[in-house]
Each structure stands twice: as C-alpha cells, then as structure tokens.
Chains A and B, each alone.
Chain A
Amino acid sequence: MQQSEQKGAPGAQERAARQRYERGQQRSLIEALKRLVPYLEGLKLRWFFGMLAAIAAGIIALSIPVVLGGLVDDIEAEGAAAAVVWTAFAVVLGLGVLEAIFVFLRRFFVIPPASDAETNMRVSLFERLVGQSAAFHGAWEAGQLQSRAIADLNMLRRFFAFGSLMLLTSSITVLVGIGVMFSWSPTLAALFLCAAVPVIALGPAFRRKFVHYSRSAQDQAGEVATKVEESVHGIRVLKAFGRGDWARSSFKEEAATLRDLEVSKMRTLAKFQMLMVLLPEGVLAACIFTGLYLAGQGDLTAGALAGFFAMAVVLKQPIEGIGMLIGMVFMAKTSIDRHIDVMDVEPDIVSPAEPKTAAEKGLVELEDVHFRYPDAAEDLIRGANLRIEPGETMALVSATGGGTSTLLNLVPRLYDVTSGTVRIDGVDVRDYSLPDLRSRVAVAFEDPTLFSTTVKSNVLLGTSHQRDDDDPAHPSRDRAPSRDQLDEILDEALHTADAEFVRELPESLETRIGEEGLSLSGGQRQRLALSRAIAAKPSVLLLDDPLSALDVRTEERVTARLREVLDGTTTLIIAHRPSTVALADRVAVLHEGRIADVGTHTELLERSAIYSRIMKPTPPESQDLMDAIPADEDQGEAADPAVSANTEVTK
C-alpha cells in the first residue's frame, strides 16, 4: 500500500518525501488554510459576494415551486381575471431572470480572484524555486516540482471557486432544512439527526484514509512526471542501447501505482458517499415508520408529515453533494500541504542583509576551504588554499572526480563552502549581494546547459540583453551596454569561442536551438557555452574543461583567441590535458581535496609526481599498471594528511 515500504531501504529522497507526508498529516485543515491567507488578499470580498449570490440563487430555486403553487391556486380561485395570469407570469419570469443573474454573478465574483490566487501561488512557487540552491534542486525531482506548480494549484482554484462555495451553501441549506423539519415534527427531526452520528463517528477514519490516498496519489503523479522527464532527457542513451522498453516498463510501474492509488482514493470516497446516501435515507425509512405510527396515533397531522418529507426531498441533493465536497476539501488540503513543503524551505544561499562590495580587480582567494555534499560522509574539499592574481590564468588539474568542478561552483556560490572562505577582491563571496557576485563571475559548465531560445539570447544570457531595467540582477555598475555594444560583444564572443558556425544556421543568430541545444553537436554546444561565459564580460572567468569536446585544430584556434581575450580577466580553467593547460600562466593541482602544488606546467612536470601521473601518464602496458593509477584518490579511504603531498601554496 505504501510505496516506500515496498522499495526496500529508502533513499534520501524517499525519506524526505516520507517526512513531508507526515508533516502534512499532522497539519490541521485550518492551519493549512491560514497559510494561504496572503494569496487570498483580493479574493475575500469577492468570494463573500459570490457566496451571497450563491445563497440568493439557492433561495430563489427553493422558492419558485412554493410561489408557483400559490399562483396556480390564485388562478384557480373563483372569478380570477386575465390579470391574475399576467401577474403570475410576471412573478415567475422575474424570479427566473433573477435566478439566472445570481448564478452568473456567483461565477463572475469568484472565478477571476480565485484564478488570480492560483496564479500568484504559481508565480511565488516559481520565484522561490529559482532562488533555491543547486543542492535543493539536486534533492528534488523535477516532476515533483512541476506537479506542484500545475496540477495542485488547479485543484486549489477549483476548490476556492467552486468547492468552498458549494460546501457552504449546501451546509447552510441542510441546516436550514433541518430547522424547518423541527418545526414540522421535533421527534422525526431528532430521529433524522441520528443519521449524523455514524457520519461523525466514522469521519476521522475516512479522513485519514482519504488524505493518505490523496497525498500519495498526488505525490505519485509527481513520480510519473519525473519518469517522463528523465526518459526524454535520456532519450539518446535509451535509443543507443535500445532500452526504450526498459524505460517503459519502469514508467508503467509508476503509472500503475498512480492508477491504483487513484482507484483506492475514489473507492474510499465512494464508500463515504454511500454512507451519505444510506444513512439519511435509512433514517428516513425509520421516519416513515415512526411518522405514520405517530399520525396513526393522532400525534401528528398528515400535513405535517407531508411537509417533513417534502423538506427531506429538498435536502437529498445537498446531503449527497457534501460527501463529494468533503473529498474535495481534503484534496485541496493535500495541495496546500504540498505547496507549503516547497515554500517552507528557506533558500540556503541568499544575499546577506548588509552586502559589501569592492572595486573590481579580479583577485580570487581560497582560504582553508572545506566542502561536503549535504548527505555525504566526508568532505570532498579538505582545506584548499589558493590565490589567483588579478588577470592571471590558472589551470586547475586533478584526477577524474577530484572535486575540481565542485571547487568551481563555490566561487559564484552555486554551493556554499562548508567551512573556510572564498574571497573575491578581498571580500568573502558570502558578503556580496548575489547579483553583484555573480556579475563578477561567469562560468562555462562542464555540461553546457542551453535554453530553447535563440542563439543570441543564449550567448547573451549573462548580459543586459532581454532584461528589464528594474531587474535586480541588471548590471548596475555602469555596465549596461547599448544595443550596438551588445552586438559587438556577441560577435566577439562567438569569434573567440570559434562558434561562428551559428551564422550558417537557417536563421543565423535568431535560430531557436532545441531544448538544451540538443540539435547541436557536443562540440558546438560547448563552444556556445564558452562564448556565453565570455560575453558576460566578468572579471573572473571560470571554465570547466571548456575545450574537451573540440577537435584538436578547433581547440588550437580557440586557445589562441582565448589567450588574447583572457588577458586582464582572471581565469580559473579546469584542465584534463596539456593542451588546455597551455592556456594557463600557472597550474594548481587539486589532490585529495587540497591544492597540492602550484606552478607552471614545466615546473610541475618536474617536481610533482601527482601532476605527472595526471598529465603525462606512462602508457600502461600491462594489467598491473592499472593498480598504479590513482583513479579514486579523492573519494577513497580517508586520506592521511601527513602522507599526502600537501604543498599548500598561498602567496
């Protein structure tokens, strides 16, 4: 029944999901609703009017039969004239028109503000999510976020615009109806009320069960979305190995779980609805028995008995409807819980309250930097020290998986150091405002993430291009270039990265590149990502193995141009091979989480055994050599600092 129990040892994500589930179970409906108050600002008054309109429409609907009865009696009366018929016609017509108007008004009042509330929640969710750190996004599945942003909020809109009103009007109708019943016969009305006792008694059990299924189903919908997302992003791998069927069967498993949960949810609701029909109707059968008996005894008039049952008929629909509406309340509550889950996570990487700033030179310093991934057992970076002078180009080298990319992410605060400091121009990166910091630093990532927009927009991502003037990240330090300057920047960036192939595309720079630029080759994407970093004109440029997918001649060209452009820009470049290192003035070797050595390529080849192993490995001739190559130095058993070659360099 509960997914996580089936899947054996729960992973971190499942544990977190379980915790969220439980927090939701503990939160009361009122508490959940209270959390929505900020979004309901514009809704309250109009919702109130909407409710009035709904009640008015309900009263008219109830009164029309009564009025009709009276009117027909009048027509029947002796000596009635045509005028009576006309009057009756006018009254019925008037009420009929009013009923339609009130029904119209109910929607008119409620729909727009409910939709506004939905939109506000959606946008707030998005704003919160783009402000969340990379660590947050690593822990959340994309599908879970997406289902919260769309399906859950649609649910809430329906609840506010429809469910909540109907529930209130139905409840009011039922209460008034029962009051009227009391006026006909207190005994029968009291008997009728007995039907409520089992409903109230069974209510909590139903609620628990229904909320469980509703929450699980909504969570599962997110899992399904995640599978879809993954299967599309990984389509090339699936196709290369012909594993579409495998992906499909694992998707089907999730989809089947969703199906089963939804069916279980509806089954639970159906049971409750059955209760909502069976109980009142069953009690009414007893009322017939009792009523007839009382009438037979002469304790009740036939008219009162008829009146009592006429009201019972009127109440039939609202009572039945309440079952469904209560289900809706709980689904809405689940949606609120799921919304809160995300909104309650405070972003861990934010601008400080009183940001500092400094004149832009491009001095980068790492001081005793430690870093550990949130659920990892030990530090990946274990006290790195490094100083990169303004304008200097420093290559960062380590064995595969040595933590170089991680170290790079610490500079623009995509992750925060666990301890120690990263400073730019003498100021701790955590003391800058994020826009300030990130406008000083530009990164070309190892996997070049491109967006499905034009080539131009992709390359100019870090500039003022397509940014509103009041965008807080808009360059404020007199750096907003004009349109012509932007074009120049674009040309220069494309030229430097040898990405001029884009001009050959069908619509040149205005060509929309597919999702993640998948229609381009790896090398092409990489060059666009490189030109994007260059176009941002940062004082600190971080390049994560930017030339890896380039062929050797392109690499040569790009290298030569980069050398010119990088002049004056502080650059940290992750390199896996000598050709990339060639760009750098000096090389830093990251080994076992520390900077083991810094020097020129030639110096290091001479004095650093680690560096030589990485950059000039002896071609392995036999199987034995495999053991000699340190493939897991960084992640292996805890390194003994005394043993490791730890030549910390801080100039």
Chain B
Amino acid sequence: MSERNGRTANVDDAHFTDTAALDLSKITPPRDEDEFAHLRGTSAEEDVTFTKAERKFIRRRSLSLLWRASAGVRGKLLLTAIAVVVSQGAQAATPFIAGGLAIDWGLPRLMDGDSAGLWVPALLYLLCAVTAGVLLYWYTRMTAEASQAMLYKLRDEVFRKTQALSLDFHEDYTSGKVISRQTSDLEALRELLDGGVNQLVQGLMFMLFTTIYIWISDFRSGLVLLAAVVPIIFLGRWYQKNAEVAYRRTRISSARMIVHFVESMTGIRAVQAFRREDARSRQYRKLAKIYRDDMVRSIGLFGVLQPGLMLIGNLAVAAVLLWGGFRVLEGDLGAGLLLGIVLATKRVFQPLDMIAMFYNSLQSATAALEKVSGLLEETPKVRQVKSPQRLEDCAGDIEFTDAEFKYSDDGPVVMKQLDLHIPAGQTVAVVGRTGAGKSTLVKLLARFYDVTSGSLTLDGVELRELSEDDHHRHVAMVTQEAFLFSGSIRENIALSRPEATEDEIIAAAKAVGAHEFIMGLPEGYDTDVNKRGGRISAGQRQLVSFARAFLADPAVLILDEATSSLDLPSEQLVQQGLERLLGNRTALIIAHRLSTVSIADRVLVIDEGQVVEDGSPQELIDAGGYFSKLHSAWSATMGN
C-alpha cells in the first residue's frame, strides 16, 4: 500500500489535484435565503420538467461546473481554438492556391518561361498542407489532453464528494447511481469536450468569413441571410426546449438501468437462490427499453433539427437565387457575382451541421452535468470546521452533555437528551434491543453523524471542532459489515494505518487470532481477497476487520456488534486480545454476548434512545432490571 501511495505522489500536474473549486456546496447560499432550495443537491434528480426560472438555475449550475472544471486548461483550450482557426485557414486556402494561384497566375507565367509560376504555387500549397496537418495533430492532442484533464478533475471531485457525504446520504443514494454519475454521465461530457470545441470554432469561423464575403458582395443577399436567422432561432429554441427534457430523461433512465444492473450483480447469490433471474431480466429489459426510447427520442429531435437547418439553408439559397436572378435580368447584378454569392450562401449553412452537432452534444452533456453538479452541490452533514482544533495526544475521555440526535429536521428524535460521561480508559458495554439506538450512540462518537443539539466532547474538545485527522487517529470503529476491499489481506489490515510495518501487521493479526487462518491461505498475507471477500468466510472477515482496529491503535475503540459471526474459540481469542488492547483505552462495545459484556467495567442499557440503566455489570444484575434479565437469559443459553 505504501508502494501505491508512492506512485500516487507521482501523478503529475499539481492543478489536477486541486478540486476545491468544483465543490459546489461551498457556494450554496443558506437555506432560508435560497429560493431554489428545493433543487439543491440531488433532491430534484428524478424530476423531468421545471419552470422557466428553475431551468435557468439548473442550467447555470451545470455550466458553472463546466467553467470551473476548465480552470487550468483554459489557456490550452484557447490555444487549441487558435490552432483550429489557423489549421482551418490553411486548409481553406488550398483551393485558392490550386485554382486561382496555380492556374490563373502560375500557368501564364510558366508559359512565359518563368519557372516561379511552377514552384511558387506548389510550395505554397505544400506549406499550407503541412501547417494544416501538423496543427490538426497538435490540436487533436491538445483537445484530448484538456478534456481528459477536466474529466479527471471531475471524477476526482465526485469521488471525494461521495466519500465526504454522510451515511444517511448513501443509504438513499445507491452505489449504482454514483457509478452512473462517474461513468455514463461523465462519458456524455467527454463527447462534448472531445469534439465540441473544434466543431464550434471551425463552424463559427467559416460562417463568419463567408457571411462577411456575402455582405460585401451584395447586401441584399445578406438581408436574405438575416431573414433566415429568424426561423433558425425558432427551430433552435424548439430543439433546446425539447432536447433538454429528452436528454434529462435519458440520464434518469440510464441511471436506473445501471442501478438495477449493479444491484443484480452484487446480489447475484440471492437472485439465483430465490429464482429471480427471469424476473430481474424482465425488469432490466423494461428499463433498457425505456432508456432506448428516451435515447431514440432525443436523437430523433436532432434528426429533425439537422435536416430542418439544412432546409432553411437551402430555402435561403433558392431565395437568393430568385431575387438575384431577377436583378441579373434587369442588369443590376453580374451573373458571375450571382453564382459566387449563391455558392457562398450554400456554403454558409454547411457548418450549421457541425454547430448543430455541437449543440446536440452540449444538450446531452448539460443534462449529465445537471446530475453531476447536483451531486457536487450536496453538503455533507458532517464536515470539518474551518479552523479545527488539534488534539495531539488523547486520553479518551468522552462526555455527552444534553446531546440530542435526529436524522432530519422534521424526523423523530432518535437519541434524547443524553448526559453521559465516560472517563478515559473505561470499557463500556452498550446493550439493548435491536433498534433501540445503541448504534446511534457510537456512530455519533465515530462522527458518522453529528449531534443535532447539545455537545459531545473528546478530552474536552467538542467533536465537531476536532480536526478530522486527529479524530480518525484517536477514534476507530469496527463496524458490523466487515467489508474487504479488493487487494491482499495485508493491504486490508493496513487499511487502518497504511504506514504500518510488516511486523506490526502480523502482530495485529496474531493478536486477534487471524494469523493462523491467513497463513493457511494460498499466498498468506499476499492472498487476494477477491471480489468482496467472497472466499473468506464471514467470521474470517470479522477477524481481519478486528486486526485493522488493533493496528489502528486508537485511544477510543468502538466495536459495533463486531463479533457476531465468530465462533466461540475465535471470539475468545479476540476477547483475549481485546483485554490486552483495551488496557488503557476507552472502549465502547455494542454486544449481545455475555462474554463481551463480561470484560466491561460498566454497562449501559439503551432503550428508545435513552440510557435506562447504567452501572457496573454486578450492580445492574443486582438491580434486577433489563440487564439482569438479559444476564439470566445469557447464562441459560451458555449453560445449555
């Protein structure tokens, strides 16, 4: 893992790593001053139609993200545009060299015996060709570099944001959606970035020059061109309005399809065991069909726009010909000039095709950016304050004062008015019914959530004000899910402390009794845990997860039902290691096993978000409350 980090440091260009400007949540106004509060973040992600003001807001947000993402490569993009112009200019010049220069200028001179007539046009042509070709190479490369740099930055920021967002966000927003933001949405943006600039610049330049030529030659024909702009604007607006909705639909249907896909593959064992293959496939077919229809609809709109523009252009050509034709008859206009103007009129509309294509990718990309920018606008509920307090050394003294917690402003209070002091070094067992709020208590301590009112301090420092680094250094939690990341067992243990040495990793594994099973694996600590740790049993995963906690060596250790899948011998090993580990640490242990509780100095019984019993195990047994009953139940099963 250290080797990996070493390589990451080499990832080039400093500006790639700076993504702070892409964090849209930082520029979101306070909620009560925000007329678009209902559109902020991912809340309107599934909506398709919006009011005019809303559309404007969303559009601005998307474009602002695009603009921000272009920081650092704007110079490159500008250079690219210039290269496109020069390259196109050089390409546009070649017909004139071949026609005018070579035949009208060169040939007569050559006939007169002047060899310049031969090589001047040829060399000039070659020069233009080389300029056009080399610049084409250069700008294609530049475009790719600029667009990939932007995508890289966006990917990174989306990743950072997803990691920063609190758990309640992830509970709603499935991994499939995140994947779809990271893959198919950014893909849509890529299509725009890869071809867009070139198309736009090429098209605009060409139209500009040709229009100027027409106006200078014959302003009446210029008026026809101007008249043609009116239906183009109407067509364009019609297209934009419809395409916006259509592409938004495709983003939504594509995300749904991806979510279904990811979930079916992740849960493949359940799908097969409960014979849902067919039902899931049908559902997927339905979703794929909806996506297909949405896609065909949006492409279909472009299929109307493109020939529509062509039709308008061709009508304009015919109109210029008609008007000019009569003027030729009347002798007001030269026939040669008319031909020139009519051909120019035909040409002026050709790039509209390219511009329409750009516009099309822009629509598709904007729809995608809507979703991405929405995600980036999400504010993590838990975040570091501006100037966090440091806590170099930590004893592990925890204090809840009047602490209350609810998941949302209008939600029920999950934890009520808690006053609790856990002195440094104490081992506290937290018991209670499933869903009583035990997990909430420890999740507050792990800062998965923050208390909604009151205070929670660690060594006297308000947790919300403590720096994240220090918090993570001092507080570690072993969760219910013992998730293993792809990579080796070693990497998975070292997750909690990447700088740990081999010896430390092995010591941690030995301490929890994981060493033996790891050594039994084909490649020991180097064994790849494979996808989602499929090969490693649930109990073994929990052992690895424990080893992580040992390695982390925190001042406060939280165990959230972390021993459930262990058998008794393994649990005893863990227990034994735990006792040594816990020596001078503060520990909060959520457990439903007597064995775990027995090593506790103190027991808290939680019910409906409140501490209902608090005392040493013996005290509580004597008091004859919930814990006492629990204890007798435990004793009964143990004695079975």
Contact between B263 and A242 (Cβ–Cβ < 8 Å)? Answer: no
Check: A606 CB closer than 8 A to any chain B CB: no
Max chain B Cβ within 10 angstroms of own Cβ: one of A11, A93, A521, A551:
A551
**For window 577-601 of chain A, which residues contact chain B by CB distance below 8 Å?**
577-579, 581-582, 601
By a CB distance below 8 angstroms, the chain B residues around A251 are 155-156, 159
A523 CB contacts on chain B under 8 angstroms:
434-435, 561, 592
Q: Give Cα A626–Cα B566 distance, bound, in whole angstroms.
A: 16
Query: Across the interface, which residues of A come within 8 angstroms of B160, CB to CB?
Result: 244, 248
On chain A, the residues within 8 Å of B306 by CB distance are: 103-104, 107
A30 at the B interface (CB under 8 A): no
**Closest Cβ–Cβ distance, residue B564 to chain A (whole Å):** 4
Q: Which residues of chain B from 276 to 308 have a CB within 8 Å of any chain A CB?
A: 276-282, 284-285, 288-289, 291-292, 295-296, 299-300, 302-304, 306-308
Which residue of the partner chain B has the closest CB to A405? B537
Using Cβ atoms and an 8 Å threshold, which residues of chain B touch A609? none
Interchain CB contact under 8 A, A289 and B258: no
In the complex, chain A residues 497-520 whose Cβ is within 8 Å of any chain B Cβ: 501, 514-516, 518-519
In the complex, A545 has a CB within 8 A of chain B:
yes
Q: Does the CB pair A289–B513 fall under 8 Å?
A: no
Residue of A nearest to B539 (CB): A400
Give the complex CA separation of A312 and B95 in angstroms: 8
Contact between chains at B129 and A100 (CB < 8 Å): no
Contacts of A71 in B (CB 8 A): 321
Known A-B contacts A253-B11, A438-B275; the reply to A632 vs B537 at CB < 8 A is: no
Check if A165 is an interface residue, CB within 8 A of chain B.
no
Expressed in whole angstroms, the Cα–Cα distance for A371 and B459 within the complex equals: 53
Complex Cα distance, B540 from A405, in Å, reads 12
Question: Within the assembled complex, what's the spacing in Å between the Cα atoms of A466 and B282?
Answer: 11
Contact indicator B299/A107 (Cβ below 8 Å): yes
CB < 8 Å neighbour of A442 from B111, B273, B295: B273
Chain A residues near B476 (CB, 8 Å)? 240-241
**A-B pairs under 8 A by CB, number:** 608
State whether the Cβ of A359 lies closer than 8 Å to any Cβ in chain B: no
Cβ contact of B483, chosen from A137, A236, A281, cutoff 8 A: A236
Q: Mark A84-117, 1 if CB is under 8 A from B, else 0.
A: 1110110011011101110110011001100110
Chain A hits for B259, CB < 8 A: 452
Within B506-523, the residues touching A (CB, 8 Å) are 513, 516-517, 519-522
19 contacts between A and B (CB under 8 A): A64-B317, A68-B339, A85-B328, A104-B304, A126-B264, A142-B266, A150-B184, A239-B167, A240-B477, A251-B159, A256-B16, A278-B133, A295-B107, A400-B540, A401-B539, A446-B538, A519-B171, A629-B573, A631-B569
Closest to B562 in A: A522
- Give the residue name and chain of the A residue nearest to B174 (CB): A515
B570 at the interface (CB under 8 A from A): yes
- C-alpha spacing A631/B566, complex, angstroms: 11
With A241-B552, A445-B270 given, is the CB distance from A72 to B538 under 8 Å? no
Asked whether, in the complex, the Cβ of B568 is within 8 Å of the Cβ of A146, the reply is: no
In contact, B564 and A123 (Cβ under 8 angstroms): no
A235 touches B102 (CB 8 A): no
Other 13 A-B pairs with CB < 8 A, given A123-B281, A515-B176:
A72-B328, A137-B265, A145-B261, A236-B448, A239-B167, A263-B145, A281-B130, A288-B122, A309-B98, A445-B270, A581-B640, A614-B569, A631-B517
Indicate if the CB atoms of A377 and B552 lie closer than 8 Å: no
User: How many of chain A's residues touch chain B, expressed as a range?
Assistant: 35 or more
Chain A: minimal CB distance from B479 (Å): 5
Are A141 and B163 in contact, CB atoms less than 8 angstroms apart? no
For the complex formed, measure the closest distance between the CB of A504 and the CB atoms of chain B, giving whole angstroms: 9
In this complex, what residue of B is CB-closest to A409?
B269
Contact of B183 among A119, A146, A576 (CB under 8 A): A146
Q: How far is the CB of A237 from chain B (nearest CB, A)?
A: 5
For the complex, is A202 an interface residue (Cβ under 8 Å from B)? no
Residues of A contacting B279 in the complex (Cβ-Cβ under 8 angstroms): 466-468, 471, 473
Residues of B within 8 A of A262 (CB): 144, 148
Distance between B108 CB and nearest chain A CB, rounded to angstroms: 10
Q: Is A244's CB under 8 angstroms from B164's CB?
A: yes
**A238: chain B residues within 8 A (beta carbon):** 163
Residues of the B chain whose Cβ atoms lie less than 8 Å from the Cβ of A620: 572-573, 576
Q: Looking at the complex, which of A226-234, A330-338, A384-392, A486-494 is the stretch in contact with chain B?
A: A226-234
Knowing A111-B296, A150-B254, A282-B130, the reply to whether A138 touches B285 (Cβ < 8 A) is no
B325 sits at the interface (CB 8 A): yes
Complex contacts, A521 vs chain B, CB 8 Å: 434-435, 439, 480
1/0 contact trace for B612-640 toward A, CB 8 Å?
Answer: 00000000000000000110011001101
**Partner-binding segment picked from B47-55, B64-72, B223-231, B525-533:** B525-533
CB distance from A593 to the nearest CB of B (A): 13
Interface bin, chain B: 35 or more
> A557 to chain B: closest CB distance in Å?
11
Residues of B contacting A: mostly: helix
Contact B8 A231 (CB under 8 A): no
**How does the 8 Å CB contact mask read for B119-132 relative to A, with 1 for contact and 0 for none?**
10111011011101
Judged by a CB distance under 8 angstroms, whether B451 is at the interface is no
A556 at the interface (CB under 8 A from B): yes
Q: Which residues of B contact A617 (CB under 8 A)?
A: 568-569, 572
A514 x B171 contact (CB < 8 A): yes
**Candidates B4, B162, B170, B313; contact of A250 at CB < 8 Å:** B4
Contact assessment for A239 and B183 in the assembled complex, using a CB-CB cutoff below 8 Å: no
Tell me which of B110, B261, B317 contacts A296 (CB under 8 A).
B110
Query: CB-defined interface of B218-244 with A at 8 Å, one 1/0 digit per residue?
Result: 000000000000000000000000000
Query: Is A426's beta carbon under 8 Å from chain B?
Result: no
Q: Which residue of B lies closest to A529 (CB)?
A: B270
The smallest beta-carbon distance between B134 and chain A, in angstroms, is 7
- Distance between Cα atoms of A586 and B589 in the complex (Å): 33
A302 within 8 A of B: yes
User: In chain A between 142 and 163, which residues have their CB closer than 8 angstroms to a CB of chain B?
Assistant: 142-143, 145-147, 149-151, 154, 161
B316-345 CB mask vs A (1 if < 8 Å, else 0) is: 011001100110110000010011001100
Q: Assess the B296–A289 pair: CB atoms within 8 A.
A: no
For A527, the chain B residues whose CB sits under 8 A away are: 434
Closest-by-CB residue of B relative to A320 is: B136
- Cβ-defined partner of B270 (8 Å) among A64, A461, A515: A461
Are A134 and B315 neighbours in the complex by a CB distance under 8 Å? no
B194 contact set on A, CB distance < 8 A:
266
Q: Known interface pairs A284-B129, A309-B102, A446-B565. Does A473 touch B276 (Cβ–Cβ under 8 Å)?
A: yes
Q: Which of B438-466 contact A (CB under 8 A)?
A: 439, 446, 448
- Decide yes or no whether A221 CB sits under 8 A from chain B: yes
Residues of A within 8 A of B568 (CB): 576-577, 614-617
From B4, B126, B162, give the contact of A282 (CB < 8 A): B126
Per the 8 Å Cβ criterion, residues 429-462 of A in contact with B are 434-435, 438-439, 441-443, 445-447, 449-452, 461-462
Per-position binary interface string of chain A over residues 124-139, scored 1 when its CB falls under 8 Å from any chain B CB and 0 otherwise: 0011011110100111
Q: Is the CB of A400 within 8 A of B567?
A: yes
